[in-house]
Structures are given as structure tokens and as C-alpha cells.
Amino acid sequence: MKNVAWLAAAVVISMPISAHAADAIQDYAPPAPVVQSAPFSWAGGYLGVSAGYMFDNTTRATASDLGGNQFSRRYIKGTDGFVGGIYGGYNFTANNFVYGLEANIDYADSDNKRNTFRDAASTHSDIGFNGALRARLGYSIDRALIYATGGLAIADIEYKATDVSGTAKKSSTETGYTVGAGVEYAVMDNLLLRTEYAFSDYGDKTVSTDLANYKFETKTHTLKLGVAYKF
């Protein structure tokens, strides 16, 4: 019995010591490493689709007689219509600055008409396929990018003028310039969302009937949303 009592006492005495030893080992365990995610990089290529609105293209039609005397000038407004297509490009980075090249090709459902010279004549302009090759320069704040853009614009445009002598029309591929700005955000490492505004000027084109010359000066405004995959 004495041996059993001494053994029980030894176990009771050793229990606090073992507990303190375990606590000491736990207290001095090395901390778990902190895993930090790598900062997002805008560098690389991307390909996306966009859709939006072409509005109030402020195309101006000037009518002159065959002697060169101007008798009417009107803005052809109300050219609201859908525009959509594809775009792609490549970004380079330098600290927070992002720069690169981008190309896009779109189709616009843009059709406008304006009567002039007391309704004795009408002018008509229709933009179909259009695109651009642009440079981009922006500033990034982590996954957000604010940028400006500008470059070469190209569009297939049909011009038409009708007066008492008949109808004259001309379809041609016009080149000009485009400038704009936008905001882009990386919702995932490979998924980019954007909103963008662009102004394009395609110069002027003259269509002549038997009675008059009609000069069209074509300008467009577009507002588009886009989603792209970053490679």
C-alpha cells in the first residue's frame, strides 16, 4: 500500500510540471510564415469585345452651287446607334505608368439624314465598319488604370445627297484621327473591364449632283464598355 501511495503522489506532482513544459514548448513555437500575394502587373497582351453607343456625330453638310457659292450648311445630328466589335493590344509598364498599342475593329449601326435648303434637298451619311490603331498611356493604381489614347481612325462611310436634279452617292473608306480616354479595372488576374470614350474625325468628302456640290465633314463620338482576357 505504501508503494501505491508513493506512486500516486509522484504522478500528481509531475502533472503540473508536464503541463508547464508543454506550455513552454507551445509558447516558443516559431510563427507561421505570412504569405503575401504578388502585386498585379498590367504588362502583357490582351484581347476583348466591346459594345456601346455612337451618338450625335456632328457631321456637317455644306451645299454649294456649281459656281462654288455656298447656300446651305447644316449639322446632321441625331445619329444615335449601336456600335460593337473586338479589340486587342499589348501593355508595357514603368513603375505605375502603363503604355502600349491597341487596335480595334467595330461595326456601327449609324444612319442619319437632314433636309436642307427649305427641304428642297436632303443629305445622308451612313457609317458601317470602322476601326483604329492607337497608342495608350495611363497611370495605374494597383488594379485600376486611367488612360488616354490617340491614333489613326478608319471607317467605311456612304454619303448621299438628293435634290431636284436627282440623287448622288459615294461610298469610300476614310481615314482620320481619334482621341479618347478610359478607365480599366482588373477584376481578376486575367479579366479586365473597361469603359471608354472616343472622338473621331474622318475629314471631308464631296458628293455632287447636277445642281450642287455637297461637302460632308464627318465626326463621331462613341461610348463603349469592354471586357478582355489578359494573357
DSSP 95: T
Please list the pLDDT of the chain residue by residue as tens digits (231 residues).
445 444 444 444 444 544 444 444 455 556 666 656 678 999 999 999 999 998 866 778 888 888 888 877 877 765 678 999 999 999 999 999 999 999 999 999 876 777 766 677 888 888 899 999 999 999 999 999 999 999 999 999 999 999 989 999 999 999 999 999 999 999 999 999 999 999 999 999 999 999 899 999 988 999 999 999 999
The second-level CATH assignment, the architecture, of 44-230 is Beta Barrel (2.40)
DSSP 139: E
Q: Residue 55, class by beta-carbon neighbours within 10 Å (0-12 exposed, 13-18 middle, 19+ buried)?
A: middle
Per-domain residue ranges of the chain: 44-230
- Nearest-5° Cα angle at 61, 150 to 205: 60
Residues 180 and 222: their CA atoms lie apart, in Å, by: 9
β-strands 144-163, 121-141 pairing? antiparallel
What's this model's pTM, rounded to 2 decimal places? 0.80
β-strands 70-76, 81-94 pairing? unpaired
